[in-house]
């Protein structure tokens, strides 16, 4: 039987082709094939089959890569400035995800999920993470205006397309999150039921999977890792769209999972603390940006708003998580220095380079902590005094 006549074989073939294009960084081509594979999978298993989660994650991750690649080509962030709300674009997949959650609630008591929309990321198990600079604070777009209204309209179309990619990626990942959570709950429930016969078992939480529960078998671990990656990607998308509070929730959920999966010295734990700190730092400045936007639009701004603009609680938590990232890196350095004693030749040189890389990142993060501590309670009135009310 030809692959085209066998739905399962056709799905496997599409997945192989999509994965190949993704590995080659042909993200647009990969996304097209993932889309076709997702449709074939839906026809084969049904739209809300929990087994669909992995492909949906791969598809959503690829769309995120497409959007970021377009942003790089255009020379700016995908959603660095406020954009018009999309009409209906975020409805389809999110309604399916919401419907799936409501359906589960009718079948059994609601699960206690860590973070409502959490889902994300996936740094593809990179050994180290990248320090993101202060360029992310710049939310102003380049205003040349020399190309006329036609060029401006074209730029808006490009921005809308990029935003569509991010929005679609988020909704697909959100559906993957729901299905992964269901799979993980079922796996944990099966593990719990297998231990109920033990007289020492006092576990009454069957079916109530918590993100902080350490995985007890390979299946749970794999699902937990994928769910953590999903939370992380959704958080990245929220950062791109400047939904910083949502990003905080998603990164927090990813961190909780990663802390249950990896030791303190893991680069993935350090990265999770760092990303959450960054999101909290951005979230702490939300009112500052809002006041600046009103002033730049010519509005009068109440000095009280400017004086209390910075969310000090969020900023303090950002410092805490940055310090946790630093401690994680220091623990990693200690572990690698101990292992270095048994290495020779090229392996020893490579280990030394990695240790130096971690030291450099630790110094960068220590610098960010100093910056966070140095922010004045409010600086808006210093930069826009002419637009504050007296």
Going by pLDDT thresholds of 50, 70 and 90, the confidence category of residue 213 is low
Given a cut of 90, whether residue 144 has pLDDT beyond it is no
**Which comes out higher in pLDDT, residue 211 or 274?**
274
- Any residues with CB less than 8 A from the CB of 103 and at least 6 apart, and which? 48
Given a cut of 50, whether residue 345 has pLDDT beyond it is yes
Given a cut of 50, whether residue 198 has pLDDT beyond it is yes
Q: What share of the chain is helix, strand, coil (3-state, %, to 5)?
A: 70, 0, 30
Specify the range with the lowest mean pLDDT, choosing from 94-108, 257-271, 285-299: 94-108
Q: Which tokens belong to 226? A: 């994928």
Percent of the chain surpassing pLDDT 90 = 51
Query: What pLDDT is recorded for position 106?
Result: 45
Going by pLDDT thresholds of 50, 70 and 90, the confidence category of residue 74 is low
Query: What pLDDT is recorded for position 143?
Result: 42
**Mean predicted lDDT score pLDDT of the chain:** 77
Nearest CA to 272 out of 294, 253, 292 is that of 253
SS3 of 1-40: the string is CCHHHCHHHHHHHHHHHHHHHHHCCCHHHHHHHHHHHHHH
Specify the range with the lowest mean pLDDT, choosing from 28-32, 152-156, 217-221, 381-385: 381-385
Tens digit of each residue's pLDDT (9 = 90 or more) over 221-279: 999 999 999 999 999 999 999 999 999 999 999 999 999 999 999 999 999 999 999 99
Tell me the average pLDDT across 2-7: 71
Query: What pLDDT is recorded for position 79?
Result: 42
Query: What pLDDT is recorded for position 97?
Result: 63
State the distance between the two ends of the chain, measured CA to CA, in whole angstroms.
Answer: 80
Please say whether the dihedral angle defined by the alpha carbons of residues 148, 150, 154 and 156, taken in this order, is positive or negative.
positive
| Separation between Cα atoms, residue 162 and residue 64, nearest integer Å | 9
Query: What pLDDT is recorded for position 309?
Result: 72
């Amino acid at each position: 039987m030809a692959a085209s006549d066998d739905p399962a074989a056709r799905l496997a073939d599409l997945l192989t082709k999509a994965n190949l294009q993704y590995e080659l960084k042909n993200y647009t081509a990969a996304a097209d094939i993932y889309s076709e594979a997702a449709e074939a999978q839906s026809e084969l298993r049904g739209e809300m089959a929990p087994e669909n989660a992995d492909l949906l994650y791969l598809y959503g991750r690829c769309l995120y890569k497409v959007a970021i690649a377009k942003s790089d080509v255009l020379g700016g962030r995908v959603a660095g400035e406020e954009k018009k709300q999309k009409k209906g674009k975020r409805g389809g997949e999110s309604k399916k995800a919401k419907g799936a959650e409501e359906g589960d609630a009718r079948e059994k008591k609601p699960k206690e999920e860590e973070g409502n929309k959490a889902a994300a990321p996936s740094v593809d198990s990179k050994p180290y993470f990248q320090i993101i600079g202060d360029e992310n604070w710049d939310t102003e777009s380049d205003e040349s205006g020399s190309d006329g209204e036609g060029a401006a309209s074209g730029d808006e179309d490009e921005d809308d397309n990029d935003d569509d990619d991010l929005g679609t990626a988020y909704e697909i990942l959100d559906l993957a999150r729901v299905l992964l959570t269901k799979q993980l709950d079922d796996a944990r429930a099966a593990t719990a039921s297998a231990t109920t016969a033990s007289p020492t078992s006092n576990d009454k939480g069957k079916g109530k999977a918590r993100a902080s529960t350490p995985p007890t078998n390979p299946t749970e671990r794999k699902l937990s890792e994928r769910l953590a990656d999903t939370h992380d990607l959704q958080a990245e998308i929220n950062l791109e769209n400047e939904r910083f509070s949502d990003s905080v929730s998603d990164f927090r959920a990813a961190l909780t999972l990663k802390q249950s999966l990896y030791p303190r010295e893991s680069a993935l734990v350090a990265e999770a603390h760092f990303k959450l700190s960054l999101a909290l730092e951005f979230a702490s400045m939300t009112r500052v940006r809002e006041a600046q936007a009103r002033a730049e639009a010519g509005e009068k701004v109440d000095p009280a708003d400017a004086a209390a603009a910075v969310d000090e609680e969020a900023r303090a938590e950002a410092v805490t998580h940055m310090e946790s990232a630093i401690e994680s890196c220091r623990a990693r350095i200690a572990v690698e220095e101990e292992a270095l004693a048994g290495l020779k030749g090229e392996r020893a040189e490579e280990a030394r380079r990695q240790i130096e890389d971690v030291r450099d990142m630790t110094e960068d993060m220590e610098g960010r902590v100093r910056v966070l501590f140095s922010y004045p309670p409010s600086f808006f009135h210093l930069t826009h005094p002419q637009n504050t009310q007296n």
